[in-house]
Amino acid sequence: MVPLINHAGRSLRWFIEDVWGHFDSDHTRPGAPLFPSERRNADGTCRRVGDDALRAGLAEATAAHLPDWADKLTPHVLRHFCASELYLSGMDLISIQEALGHSWVATTMKYVHVHRTRIEDAWIAGQQRAARRLEGLLS
């Protein structure tokens, strides 16, 4: 299971309904790959795209669109980025741990990278909330 955030369901639905059929005719078949290859299994069904093809595609897209990140952007780096963005967007660590499939929350904590000012920003925001609550008591 994969959580679909930021309206990713729309993109997935488009892919399955409009693109997927060009590779295989039955996306409801048990075990049907989400990312089908042009290669076929012995029974004629689509094979899954291999890790090497996905890594090569990421490298090609990075070179074309993010040349400063060429040779630096990997699936593992994307995993760290996604974990950090989820955390900065308000998702709690336990939910991120479950999404990433980590056994230990300590591992997840290593994946989440936050700006150095995050603690200070949170402290200031807390002080401002407290001050607003006290305004009515001081009158």
Q: Are residues 68 and 38 in the same domain?
A: no
The verdict on 39 and 82 lying in the same domain is no
Same domain, 44 and 94: no
Residue 120: its pLDDT value, please? 80
Q: Quick one: 45 and 67 in the same domain?
A: no
Q: Are residues 32 and 73 in the same domain?
A: no
- Looking at the structure of the chain, the number of domains it has is 2
Residue with tokens 């039955």: 26
The answer for 104, left when phi > 0, alpha when psi is -120 to 50, beta otherwise, is beta
pLDDT at 37: 80
The answer to whether the beta carbons of residues 20 and 14 sit under 8 Å apart is no
Token pair 């230990």 is found at 104
pLDDT per residue over 92-128, tens digit each? 999 999 988 999 999 998 888 877 777 788 888 889 9
Instruction: Provide mean pLDDT across the span 36-60.
Output: 85
Whether 81 has a pLDDT exceeding 70, the answer reads yes
Domain residues for 101? Answer: 57-139
Q: Do 45 and 73 fall into the same domain?
A: no
Question: For residue 121, what are the CA distances in angstroms to 53, 115, 117, 118?
Answer: 42, 10, 6, 5
Are residues 28 and 85 part of one domain?
A: no
The two tokens of residue 26 are 């039955």
Instruction: Clarify whether residues 69 and 35 are in a common domain.
Output: no
pTM (predicted TM-score): 0.60
